[in-house]
Amino acid sequence: MVSISLLEASMAILCFLILHYLLFKKPHGRFPRNWPVLGMLPSLLMSLHRLCDYSVEILEISDLTFLFKGPPFFGMDMLLTVDPANIHHIMSSNFSNYIKGSEFQDVFDVFGDGIITTDSELWKNLRKSYQAMVHHQEFQRFSMSTVASKLKDGVVPLLDHFAEEGTIVDLQDLFGRLTFDTILILITGTDPRSLSIEMHEDELAKALDDVGEGVLYRHVKPRFLWKLQNLLGLGQEKKMIQANATFDRVCSRYISAKREEITRSQGVLDTSNRESEDLLSSFMKLDTTKYKLLKPSDNKFLRDTILAFILAGRDTTASALSWFFWLLSENPHVVAKIRQEIIDIDLPRTGNGQENLDTLVYLQAALFEAMRLYPPVSFGRKSSIESDVLPSGHRVDANSKIIICLYASGRMKAVWGEDALQFKPERWICENGSLKHEPSSKFLAFNSGPRTCLGKHLAIIQMKMVAVEILQNYDVKVIKGQKIEPVLGFILSMKHGLRVTITKRC
């Protein structure tokens, strides 16, 4: 009996030591070790808290493309790449072979069948309808006037208040509220007024935050595990279920209110004021036979459309602005150059002189440089229909999972040079002073190929308007000692926010 007890104790200690070694000891060399049965999962778990920087290290030493092997039958094998040639091949030249796929739609199921999650004919038809509306001059004027109004009546009074009170403010939270209010006005015509001194929490904004985190965890967990958690309503999946219910309830409220508004106006909107027509009104009047889409009476179609526009226009812009202002705080010489450029083109102190914003080349270079280092979306995902060979020589089997690491892409010395980790707006300026063009397969902040962001120009103008308003009229000082790091999520937000103080400039 003593010998059996001793043997059991020895086996338990041995198992503990092996498990501890697998989970906590760093593998030899810098590559993740491919263990029997476990694959590279232990390395992933060890590095989950710093996944973005870990991906940079791995891709830098693996010639820009790396095959991650998960445990057999777990469906976690994936090819990670930041090679511009591979990205161009996947996103453009062989676009038809690389789709979002059923697994992607499964991971992003809470967003339904919007333009971000769909493929093939449905995606093409959705994109045509979105493009017609977003690129319409009336909507673009509505977009610019909405941003200008939100700056004048929302951001400026709020910053003045913080400056007078000497209050510390989370700038990332402020930008998130600005973009949330703006995109909701553009979509529904209704202002949620989350940008206020009270800074109240909006249930839809909260649900979007929960989903962003949940989507990331679905990528790094075995599919069967998060599916089981979803079925049982456990852990992060419980938040996903609650967020989905919030999406349904809030979108239904907006759709019902819009239908009542149209009914009150006898089913015909006032064409004399089409410049301020929101997207939900436009989609309710959509000629579905022209675009081969569901009828606008279909609540699910309208719900998915609302969420697609919110996802595209809220957190992405807020994230870009947050990292931009943090980088400016670390590089005061860049602030001086931007302010001088604003003076040189004689922008008015208020209103931003929208017609002159395109001439702010150095400001745009600084914004692009911030998005190179901190892209609003941290990664993209594709699935292959048929087997293929990438320009790098890597073979891709049918139904392979491919992850394009946007965060790592902007930090590759092999792509951007030895100064890749430096914030250097000058890299975007040509000798003649014009803005330098970089191929979208290299600079992926606005996606690439046929899926390039439809609202790219509007987003750039919006960010310029916000930057000019703040840099002209305020000094922003970042609180020392706070930890600035990216959150583990689909959107590259700051994990702890960006705490600053505001001082009004003379």
pLDDT tens track for 331-386:
999 999 999 999 988 766 554 556 688 899 999 999 999 999 999 999 999 999 99
Q: What share of residues in the chain are helix, strand, coil (percent, to 5)?
A: 60, 10, 30
* Alpha carbons 129 and 115: distance in angstroms, whole number: 10
| CB-based contacts of 51-55 (< 8 A; 24+ apart in sequence) | 51/220, 51/488, 52/378, 52/407, 52/408, 52/486, 52/492, 55/80, 55/405, 55/407, 55/408
User: Whose CA is closest to 80, among 220, 221, 222?
Assistant: 220
Q: How confident is the model at residue 219 (pLDDT cuts 50, 70, 90)?
A: confident
pLDDT at res. 27: 42
Any idea what DSSP says for residue 95? G
Q: What pLDDT score was predicted for residue 272?
A: 46
pLDDT exceeds cutoff 50 at 315:
yes
89 in Cβ contact with 80 (< 8 Å): no
Q: How distant, in Å, are the alpha carbons of 9, 23, 183 from that of 15? A: 10, 12, 54
What does the alpha-carbon distance between residue 171 and residue 158 come to, in Å, rounded to a whole number?
Answer: 11
Find out whether 430 is annotated in a ligand binding site. no
> What contacts 24+ positions apart, CB below 8 Å, involve 267-273?
none
Report the amino acid identity of residue 496: H
> Which pTM was predicted?
0.88
Provide the pLDDT for residue 24.
47
Count of H-run helices and E-run strands, the chain: 21, 10
Choice among 13-27, 152-166, 240-254, 450-464 with the minimum mean pLDDT = 13-27
Q: What is the pLDDT of residue 271?
A: 47
Whether the predicted pLDDT of 448 surpasses 90: yes
Both tokens of 256, joined, read: 């019902």
DSSP 114: S
Question: Which residue, 270, 267, 276, is CA-closest to 188?
Answer: 276
> Which pLDDT belongs to residue 4?
47
Number of C-alpha atoms within 13 angstroms, CB side, residue 348? 6
Q: Under 8 Å CB-to-CB from 162, ≥6 apart: which residues? A: 169, 501, 502
Rg (alpha carbons) of the chain, rounded to whole number: 24
List domains and CATH numbers for the chain.
34-193+201-504 (1.10.630.10)
